[in-house]
Structure formats: structure tokens, C-alpha cells
Amino acid sequence: MKILFVHQNFPAQFLHLAPALAARGHDVLALTDEKNARPSPVRVVRYKAPGELNLPPMLGRTFSEMAERGWLAARGCRALRDRHGYTPDVIFGHSGWGETLFLREIWPDAKLLVYAELMYRTRGHDVGFDPEISPDSDEGRVGTVARSAHLIQGLVQADAGLAPTEYQADSFPPELRGKLTVIHDGIDTLKVCPNPQAEFLLPDGCKLRAGDEVLTYVSRSLEPYRGFHRFMRALPEVLRARPNAQVVLVGGDGVSYGGLPKDAAGWKEKLLAELEGRLDLSRIHFMGRVPYPQYLALLQVSRVHCYLTYPFVLSWSLTEAMAAGCYIVGSDTEPVRELLRDGENGRLVPFFDQPALEAALIRGLTGDPDAARLQAAARQTILQAYDLHRHSLPRLIDWVEGFAP
């Protein structure tokens, strides 16, 4: 079977699936943005990257941008068809950037599958969730409806879709939810596991080891969507109560979701200014983005790992922290509750309850008597339902192969 993966940032969610299908004898090819330099586990072709459209602010801006990328991806596919005679049996692409919008026009007989990560919604999700950062408004809700157009069209055109969690699948309207199958990308629990010998080197040369009093926070970007502002505001009290604690944060200074603050270059700068004079900065270590082995070692030395999020896409970092056997303090928001249960495999606190967050972090750093049980249960949750080799990958392979002609 000929299978074409489409993702502007390939391999991304297809990191394990694409080579596994190739290993089973399928002819696997990936189409990606020409600017994507990430190593690929399978053969790759590239399409022309979108240029600046210079569009004025308008409700149709997002769709215009996604349609432009979709057309460039379709042109790349047309070249494969016309110059090389390539015709896939199955196309599997991420619908979030519009790349799958026009592929049925190039290959009308191919099965079209989409990775449906999340549908934007005007109520009950991220929009209006945090009044301090993005107050609820008619304009905000209207804009959310407008920027959902390409996601709806992408799933309407597809034969079927895949979502990684029930929460993310349920974000789509009932009319489309029936097209979705829920299978998590999977965690390689042989690599992501507890390691009592783990060490993490700080920039100042200090070495942290498993068992040390280490509080960790990880996000692709240090931003409100992942509760960065709530975490930072908890640190003065946490550091006062735990004078030997070290805090390590991993994440970039930009934004992955939402926007930048109006009065600072980034959220890190804004929160440090807000908390000036209240933080012992010698014990707070901003690492930026780090290589994966270093990130994994950090999870393995962590005594308490804090994961906070708006009602939004669930981060891989939560599932990896659970697989690593971390003691996790998480936000009591819907995507987190799907995996983390208070008192069973972690601790949950209301997203906006600052004293509760501080108390939970201090409790974990001090030595929660239930810590070992919670940590073991967190890893067992991943082993039972999210393990890459035993659960996710076999199901993903079966799902894709089920569309064979």
C-alpha cells in the first residue's frame, strides 16, 4: 500500500507510525514544508513554503492563510502525480494548517485521513477561560468561529479522522465527532521511565540528582496557556517554605498559543518584573529549550513536576512525566482529568486557586507520604493505556491499514 503523510513539521505526531508502516512493507512517503529541516525516518519530499500574504486583520485571515498553504501542498502533490506518476492509496495529514484541504482534488480515489487535534470552541474551552489574559467578548468568540473554518472543512472532506484524547475528539461538533477515532500517539515507556541514577546539570555547574528537592515546570513556551503565570506567582511562597528547593523551568520565551503581553517582550520578562524582589533567582533556573535526553533527565530527577493548562490540547510532557514516574501537581482542567485523578495518580488543584497550588507544591517538596504510591500509579496509567509499543502503535497501524483498497 502507498501511504503519503502530510505535515508541515514532519515527523511530529507521525514519528513512530510512519517508520513502523514502512517496516511492514508499505511504500511510505512524507510531504512537508521546504523549511522543515527535522530528520525524517522515511523518504521526504518538500513543497514551497508559504510567503507573507500581507492580509489586513479580518475574520477570513486564518482561512486565507491555511488555504494558501493547502494550495501549495496540493501543488506539491500535483508534481508528484504528473512528473513521477505517484498515486497514494492512503493520505494521512494533519488538518491544523490547511495542508489537506485540496488533496482530494489531486487524488480523488485515495482515502483521506486527518489528524484532528482540536476544534476551537467559543465556550467551555480556552476562549474566555482566563479573564486576566483574554477576557470573554463577542469579538473574541466571533473570531474563534471564523478561524475554525478550515478545521471543519478538513474533517468534512476526510474519510476519517484521528484524535489523541477523548477531550480533543469531543471538541468537534456531534455532526463530525462520529468520524473520529481516539488513539494516543503513544509513549515509549522503555525510554521514558524512572531512573534513580539520573543527573541534571545546571548552567552554573551544579548537578541535580534523583532524590534532590527539585521542582520542575516544562512547556514548549513559557506562556499563560500552560499556566506559566500561575506557576511563577506560586514560587515566592514555595521558595520561602522550602529554602533548599531548586526550581528548573524548560521552555522558550515566545508563544505557541495565544499572544504576547502588551507591556513586555515576553511572559517571562513580564512575570519577573511583577515578582521583582520576591524571588530568590539563584534557585530558579530558566533552561530555555533543551535536547530531549536532557529534558528526560530533568523529569527523572524531579521531586515535584507541575503541569498546568487551559482547557486545550494536552501536552506530551504530561504523559511523559507520568511515564517517568513523576509526582505531579496538575491543574483540575478537563484535558488533565482524563489522565490524572486526584489522590490516585497525582494531585489536582483548581487552575485559579493560588493558595491551593502553593500548598500542593510545598506538600510534594516536603515529602508527601503518598508520593511513592502516586508516582507508581502515574506510570501504571501510561503502561496500561498509552504505551507506544503495547497499545498505541499497534492500534494506529491497524487503523491506517484498515483503509487499504
| pLDDT category of residue 140 using cuts at 50, 70 and 90 | confident
| pLDDT category of residue 81 using cuts at 50, 70 and 90 | very high
Query: Distance of CA 170 to CAs 130, 165, 334, 367, Å?
Result: 21, 9, 11, 37
Per the model's pLDDT, the better-predicted residue between 125 and 372 turns out to be 372
At 308 the pLDDT is 98
| Spatial distance between the Cα atoms of 149 and 128, rounded to a whole number of angstroms | 20
| Spatial distance between the Cα atoms of 386 and 164, rounded to a whole number of angstroms | 10
Task: Transcribe 364-392 into DSSP letters.
Answer: HHH--TTHHHHHHHHHHHHHHHTBIIIII
Q: Which amino acid is at 194?
A: P
pLDDT of 105 over the 90 cut: yes
3-state secondary structure of 246: strand
For 42-60, how does the pLDDT look when each residue is reduced to its tens digit (9 = 90+)? 999 999 998 877 776 788 8
Region of 189 (left: φ > 0; alpha: ψ -120 to 50; beta: rest) is: alpha
For 164-190, how does the pLDDT look when each residue is reduced to its tens digit (9 = 90+)? 999 999 999 999 999 999 999 999 999
At 51 the pLDDT is 85
Contact (CB, 8 A) for 271 and 229: yes
DSSP run (H or E) holding 113: strand 111-115
Contact (CB, 8 A) for 329 and 357: yes
| pTM attached to this predicted model | 0.95
Give the three cell numbers for residue 111: 482515502
Q: Which of 73, 182, 97, 167 is nearest to 125 (CA)?
A: 167
For 293-319, how does the pLDDT look when each residue is reduced to its tens digit (9 = 90+)? 999 999 999 999 999 999 999 999 999
3-state secondary structure of 344: coil
Q: Which of 274, 301, 309 is nearest to 285 (CA)?
A: 301
At 54 the pLDDT is 73
List strand residue ranges (DSSP E) for 107-235, in order: 111-115, 160-163, 180-182, 199-201, 207-209, 214-221
Q: Which of 283, 248, 251 is nearest to 266 (CA)?
A: 251
Question: What's the mean pLDDT when you consider all of the chain?
Answer: 96
Q: Which residue has the cell 483548581?
A: 350
| pLDDT category of residue 390 using cuts at 50, 70 and 90 | very high
Query: Distance of CA 205 to CAs 199, 200, 287, 295, 300, Å?
Result: 12, 10, 13, 17, 18
Q: Which of 225, 284, 289 is nearest to 251 (CA)?
A: 289
Contact (CB, 8 A) for 218 and 295: yes
Give the three cell numbers for residue 82: 504528473
At 266 the pLDDT is 95
